[in-house]
């Protein structure tokens, strides 16, 4: 199942800078783990914002939920999630 996930990150002003850097480093490591597994298929920055638009490939809604909750920056994120399916007019044989 493919999902588009828009993530807006809002770390509060005054949050401990060292802890923020630790969380960002842990977030990057978790992202790279999921990307290597093929689960976090694509990621794009949103220009001018601390936000991204990502595509996830998972087996179920529950799997996506568990993955998103496992992200170190999850407590500071607002997310918008859209389920996707293949468009019948696509010229591509797969969605990669």
Owning domain of residue 14: 2-84
Residue 93 covered by a domain: no
Q: What is the pTM of this model?
A: 0.89
User: How far apart are alpha carbons 70 and 67 in whole angstroms?
Assistant: 5
Q: Which SS3 state, helix, strand or coil, does residue 32 take? A: helix
Given a contact cutoff of 8 angstroms between Cβ atoms, the answer to whether 27 and 77 are in contact is no
- CATH of residue 29's domain is 3.30.70.1060
According to DSSP, the residues that pair with 55 across neighbouring strands are: 4, 42
From first to last of its 96 residues, the chain has per-residue pLDDT tens of: 999 999 999 999 999 999 999 999 999 999 999 999 999 999 999 999 999 999 999 999 999 999 999 999 999 999 999 999 888 888 877 765
- The answer to whether position 92 is within a domain reads no
Structural domains of the chain, count: 1
Instruction: Please indicate, yes or no, if residue 94 is contained in any of the structural domains.
Output: no
């Amino acid at each position: 199942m493919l999902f588009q996930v828009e993530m807006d990150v809002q770390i509060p002003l005054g949050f401990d800078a060292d802890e923020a850097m630790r969380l960002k480093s842990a977030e990057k490591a978790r992202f790279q783990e999921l990307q290597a597994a093929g689960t976090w298929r694509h990621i794009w920055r949103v220009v001018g914002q601390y936000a991204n638009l990502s595509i996830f490939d998972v087996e179920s809604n529950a799997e996506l939920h568990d993955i998103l909750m496992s992200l170190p920056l999850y407590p500071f994120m607002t997310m918008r999630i859209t389920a996707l399916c293949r468009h019948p007019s696509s010229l591509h044989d797969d969605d990669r």
